[in-house]
Structure 1
Amino acid sequence: MSPVRTKFAALLALSLASPLAAAAPEVSEARLRADVERLVSFGTRHTMSVQDDPKRGIGAARRWAEAEFRKASTACGNCLEIALPERMVTAERVPVPTRLVNVVAIQRGTERPSEVVIIQAHIDSRASDVMNATIDAPGANDDASGTTLVLEAARVLSQRTFPTTVVYAALSGEEQGLLGGRLLADYAKEQGWTVKAVLNNDIVGNSRGSDGLIDDGNVRVFSEGPRADGDDRLRAQARRFGGENDSPSRNLSRYINDVASTVPTGLNVRQVWRADRMGRGGDQLPFQEAGVPAIRFSVAVEDYDHQHQDLRTENGTVYGDTIDEMDFPYLARVTRLNIAVADRLARAPLPPVTSAEAAVQTFTTVKWQPAAGAVAYRVWRRRTDVRDWGEPVRIDDPAATSLKLDGVRGDDWLFGVSAIGADGTESPVSSAVPGGAFLPRAG
């Protein structure tokens, strides 16, 4: 690690030490295993499976998840509000009208409740034929692993209080076309939430690939480059001013990498700079399309023999997404990282809206709008051909809205600003480029 990154890591560790020190031992590997076993026990959780059977199908699984959120709420003095957004859907993979329901637990912030961090995963499962709603589809890793992570995060984080809101969501309909992600993105807009980050967890519970490769020390974080909600005008501005690698989702990925370097979760972040895996998708994509910063956590190596497969044995190879193929110590580490990131994001101010004036001059003026809850700011810069932000300049005046950088020629640099809260917790960097703000383009 470079001296600059080492110094930044030390600053992050100082700001994170108090609220996050207790996070790791609170995560229960035994609870994660028990929750995956329970979800697998429903036989199939296909979106078009039976909804009124008490023991089998998507309806039973949803009701169980809701009950678990309610237990967590009871343990924190009813601090969670349970919502069940729903709609009737038809789609390419849903040929008959089907009731789609998400299970959502809302932990309201004490100061700025409209600022929201979402931890989510999809509860539905599938087998080889995505349209087969009756065959067993245990979906242990895809995505009971993510759903149990969300439940565990709710149990842990609901014992704390935050100035902003944390939302925990089990989504339906992912395998049928990201339907639950789109429903939650619409619900967030209807609620008037400013969603500063979506942490989507999809396939987060194995460490051995289908080729035998084992990697239990890394987790992949996928983030979009150019904004999905961009238009021709934004693309033209980006050609003139840069920012192809500075979307809010990309800076959220950088932020998660920084947190992972300071919190002892036992995991390194491997940033993958594409919206999702090649030719595939997840429930972070509808949020990106709505202009919301969103990333996907996924395992370092996927096991394709135990994902989207009927339960069977062919030519000596066992297929099917079963619990025996999972690595629960690894899942616990990914859970701890999610908790660490969400804790910090929920305490931090919203990243400020930022701009830079540097064209045809030998200095740069970085400007930003005040961020609610900020007591200080850091102004960052990095060369256009490097991954990470460099040495920041700290501004301890909460009323400050600009900084002149003498002798800094803007052609060679990218700029950004982060906001620091009263407890020292810092926001992600908001890049001073077209489309760099952590807000939908319409905002």
Structure 2
Amino acid sequence: MHKNLDINVHHLTRVEGHGNIVVNMKNGKLEKAELDIVEAPRFFEAMLKGRNFKEVAIITSRICGICSLGHQITSLKATEAALGLEVSEQTKILRRILIDGATFQSNVLHALFLAAPDFLNVGSVFQVVSSHKDVVLAALRLKRLANDIGDVLSGRAIHPIRCVPGGFTMLPTEEQLRKIMDDLKGQGMQDLKFITGVLASLAGEIPQFERETEYISLKDANEYAFYDGDIFSSDTGARPVEDYLDVTNEFVVPHSTSKHARYNRSSYMVGALARFNNNHEQLHPVARDVMKELGLSAPCYNPYMNTVAQMVEVAHCIENSIMLIDQLLTDGIKQEKPADHPTRYGRGVGATEVPRGILFHEYTYNRQGNIESANCIIPTGQNLENIDDDMKKLVPEILSESKEAITHKLEMLVRAYDPCISCSVHMLDVSFIEE
């Protein structure tokens, strides 16, 4: 049993920045357990000031290379709310398909390329290629399918160019949509089932840890919410997205240049596990099968199971995309022009679920259609306080384990939140000192 510990994980890069895991225990008393964020500000809100509404979504997609589509659609929704732009049902369906593709691509990358090495006790995906080549290839095929959705519907897979306020500048053909649907039904479903079977065999490697917290996500009466809905708390219920500031309650902490958030408790969680806990009854049948095979049930209070919830969402998003494309093909593609003529000017809030959780954009426009103020609250920032609270509960529970095991579980905990794919690929450089 460790009585005095100093754990320092340096250069944990995430969200276009850097962070450190710091844990200090003296004489059996836990004095500190936190994820220190030392990233530099990026000033996207300041960049937007004075920009015309037709430029904004192009800029905000650059906030993240992995979630560029999510930022763009959230940005468009905020702009449309502020300017009174009404989009067609066809536009909403196309956007939902894009969000499905972006979600299952990101979730697959995290589960198979970032989390799986932990379950297999190897250092990186390159070692997974040696032992489970077929799994890696299946994951890459699913990623390619998601890229195809982005290419066909929005012009390219990263930083879309066809999504604009009020609609799309160019629409996919029925032949293109049918090809995507056939690929999802065929190779997509086949790869999903294969990957699920492999992950089920690794379920015993997921740490057994629980901490009940508040789970916040979008919630929609008609579907497992990604595109529309109210803000929903597992503690307090639903609120309109316009009230997001009363929910997020951002605050500054000494150990982070990124703001933290809290609502009803000291912290809350967003992301796949939060969505699952709040909306699991609306999962499609294939997703329910994956849920059962991977041993996930609601409510789940183990943050390590976020990766499992991500794979359940992969199944849901693939099946949902098939259903939405089939609906478009049945109705026929209507050649529509973007509804981009403002009917009012003022404040608008947009919210969507991106892979890592609920995302908010808020803009205020003047009568020239230019931004006067902007605010973006991303999922990672909302999760930071919850990560700290998880660490404070986890460390005392595993003090009897070896230094290597404690280090590994702390790394896995941070990775489980999938804070940023482009950053999380780095192995954590850990120094562990016992006094």
Q: For this structure pair, what is the TM-score category when the shorter chain's length is used for normalisation?
A: under 0.3
Which structure's residues are more often strand, by fraction? 1
Structure with greater proportional helix content: 2
TM-score by length of 2: 0.27
TM-score normalised according to structure 1 size: 0.27
